[in-house]
Amino acid sequence: MSSIRFAVLGHPVAHSLSPRIHQAFARDTGIELDYRAIDATAEEFKTILDAFAHSGGAGANITLPLKEIAFSHCAVLTDRARRAGAVNTLMRHGERWDGDNTDGVGLVRDLTERHRIDIRGRRCLMLGAGGAARGVAPALLDAGVESMVIVNRNPERADRLIDLLGDPGHVSSRYWEDLRSVGDFELIVNATSAGRADAKLALPFSLAHSRFDAVDLSYGEAAIGFLAWARAAKAEHALDGLGMLVEQAAESFEMWHGKRPDTDPVYAALRSESRALHTGD
Ligand code: NDP
């Protein structure tokens, strides 16, 4: 009998921390787990996913650049996946894949439970409108963020996200060139991948409210530039996306295995290795 299998699919995926995180959760909860990283480009995705299902694949995490393609291969979607227009978690049910998006709840848990940040009633600036922004924007609004301004280099993509969120009373978009005149914010989320390409965002300090928190969804080297800006702007917390990564994984794990892992030991181990520094916690 072949074992029940899990995987993370993405491209590139060799660097993914997901296999390590899920194996640690499995040890913590006493589950025997076969979880591996599978490289798949957008073109190869369907063929590779079909082969994975054939070989006993029961669940998969989906990472860059496949979240929107995976969404279109799901028979059933959770409400939060539908609102995000992207999935990061697949579950096999009979002959079909069902999809969920745990990125948003992962970020909210990291901010509110690990770092004890109260995000309710805050004015939030979302930089970026890609797959990650789609996942976290609805969750931040659900968690009580008062308003959200979305700014993306490509303005049409920001407007598509606004349409998807369907909450014009609380969400609006502005042009990147207008960042100097959009006012200040109590929560600033960097959901761009600029840091991965070593690109500088050149953000004005006028974006920072006198009391604000900042989070970059990236981690490691990719988060260094934004976090340096946030610290220079006197953020109370300047956080990277490592905690979100661990929390979104825990949410997927619980969905697949029906057990909630303790995220603190895994987070502590990864944090101690991470070169991205954060302050204020
Ligand atoms: P996408 O490719 O879907 O989107 C990339 C986003 O970054 C777009 O909004 C893009 O703008 C913007 N961008 C890229 N380069 C620049 C630049 N030089 N200046 C301004 N904007 C730029 O990626 P994702 O949304 O999936 O991922 C974004 C980041 O979030 C990645 O670094 C990823 O690692 C991280 N992430 C972290 C997770 C976690 O668990 N911690 C989970 C998911 C993602 P445009 O539309 O104009 O191209």
Over residues 73-95, the pLDDT tens digits come to: 999 999 999 989 999 999 999 99
DSSP state of 280: -
Longest dimension (CA), the chain: 62
| Annotation marks residue 67 as catalytic | yes
Q: Give the mean pLDDT of 141-169.
A: 96
At residue 25, the pLDDT reads: 98
Spell out the residues 6+ positions from residue 129 whose beta carbon is closer than 8 angstroms to its own: 150, 152, 154, 157, 158, 160, 161, 191
CA-nearest residue, atom 33 of ligand 1? 218
Pairing state of beta strands 185-190 and 123-127?
parallel
> For residue 205, how many other CB atoms are within 10 A of its CB?
10
Which tens digit of pLDDT belongs to each residue from 163-184?
A: 999 999 999 999 999 999 999 9
- Distance (Å, whole) CA 5 – CA 19: 12
At residue 9, the pLDDT reads: 98
Distance from the alpha carbon of residue 111 to the mean position of ligand 1, in angstroms: 19
Q: Which atom of ligand 1 is nearest to the CA of 157?
A: 46
pLDDT > 90: what percent of the chain?
Answer: 90
Q: Which residues line ligand 1 (CB under 6 A)?
A: 64-65, 103, 106, 128-133, 152-154, 157, 191-194, 196-197, 199, 201, 217-218, 222, 241, 244-245, 248
Distance from the alpha carbon of residue 194 to the mean position of ligand 1, in angstroms: 7
Distance from the alpha carbon of residue 193 to the mean position of ligand 1, in angstroms: 3
- Distance (Å, whole) CA 230 – CA 48: 40
Pocket test for ligand 1, best of 61, 88, 153 (most atoms within 8 A of CB): 153
pTM of the shown model: 0.94
pLDDT higher than 50, residue 280: no
Of the listed 46, 67, 234, 259, which one is catalytic? 67
CA-nearest residue, atom 35 of ligand 1? 218
Task: Give one DSSP letter per residue of 28-71, joined into a string.
Answer: HHT---EEEEEE--TTTHHHHHHHHHHTTEEEEEE-TT-HHHHH
